Amino acid sequence: MSGGSWARRGLALYLLAWLLLGLLLAGLIVAGAGAGPIAALLFALPLALFYACACGFSAYYLCRAYPLAQRSLWAVLSVFFCGGLGAALLWCAAGSAWAALCALVLPQGAALVITRPFAVIMLGIGMLLYWMTAVAHYLVLEFERTRRAETRALESRLLAQDAELRMLRTQVDPHFLFNSLNSISALTAIDAGRARDMTLQLAGFFRQTLGLEAHRKVFLEEELALLGRFVEIEQVRFGPRLVFEQQVEEGAGSCLLPPMILQPLVENAVKHGIGQRLEGGSIRVCAERAGSLLRIRVENDADPEGGAATAGRGVGLVNVRQRLAAAYGREASVHWARVDDRFRVDLVLPAETERE
């Protein structure tokens, strides 16, 4: 909801509340002063709307000038006692004048007569209504302050995610770019067509990553397409030593996830897994949707003589864990382990299918 729409709706609710108070005041006048219903309504409703404006403006500026967090309690109470007394006296004076005007219009004996006990009651009610208005203004101001703080926190979070994604782009393994350029250079003398294809694939990969936004999630099938470009480039260097497999069950490909959340995992698998084996190996990405959860597994062959730390070293896993925590809190998790000669990373996150 926009700020103007919210303000108009708040003003309408404020005036509606005062109209209800005017009806209540009219009922009290009928019951206590013995006035007719028409005379009571003619007196109470316009007077309530007049006092709504007087209380609204006065209490609003006093609440702005005397914030609770920056002023002493006694100063605030003193100011609002004087303000409430002044506003209530003004209300009583306006009520007396309005009753006199109504007496000129209404039939003889039907008009309301302002007696001293009635004026005292009006004074007390006026002060009470003024203080209630001030409390309502303080609540609205606190709500606005909290909403602004939440907006600033959300903006800071989005900026941090954008900075994190930009940093991730710069951390796309420099060896990957260096080795790709070397492969292109070598292919130009052997197979110019493959060199051109690899150049186009490399350009397409970086063009696609530059178009990503950290706060805008992507579908799993889009993330897998980006991984496919990455692996195709690496396969020019590794040849048949690098095998890439995907197993995506029905419904999983249309789920959303943070952009480039899988790329560091596959990059680690190539660098620390397949790259350390003379015979190469395979990388498999499996995804399934289990009710409200999306489960993704990235596993690869690892060096039999290396430990789990060797297979999973680098900032990739830590980066993925931090990004999932920032995006989903405790609703997402990432775990990794080495099973025999395979290194495995399991991601669990909420299954979302609609972009915000």
| DSSP 8-state symbol, 222 | H
Q: What is the pLDDT of residue 242?
A: 93
Q: What is the pLDDT of residue 171?
A: 56
Task: Compute the radius of gyration of the chain from its Cα atoms.
Answer: 36
Beta-sheet pairing, 333-339 with 281-290:
unpaired
The residue that leads in pLDDT, 170 or 78, is 78
Q: What is the pLDDT of residue 201?
A: 83
The residue that leads in pLDDT, 148 or 34, is 148
Residues in contact with 251: Cβ distance below 8 Å, sequence separation at least 6, in sequence order? 289
Encoding tokens for residue 338?
């080495």
CATH node for 171-350: 3.30.565.10
Q: In angstroms, what CA-CA distances link 311 with 269, 300, 345?
A: 7, 9, 11
Q: Domain-by-domain residue ranges, the chain?
A: 3-156, 171-350
pLDDT digits (tens, 9 = 90+) for 130-186: 888 888 888 888 888 888 888 888 777 777 766 666 665 555 556 667 777 887 887
The residue that leads in pLDDT, 330 or 284, is 284
- The model's confidence at residue 312, banded by pLDDT at 50, 70 and 90, is very low
Encoding tokens for residue 194?
């493959």
Question: Of 295, 337, 333, which is closest to residue 312 (Cα–Cα)?
Answer: 337
Give the global pTM. 0.54
Helix (H) or strand (E) holding 296: strand 293-301
Q: What is the pLDDT of residue 309?
A: 40
Q: What is the pLDDT of residue 310?
A: 46
Q: Which one-letter amino acid corresponds to residue 200? A: L
Q: What is the pLDDT of residue 110?
A: 60
Angle CA(232)–CA(235)–CA(238) in degrees, nearest 5? 165
| pLDDT over 60 at 213, yes or no | yes
Q: What is the pLDDT of residue 308?
A: 42
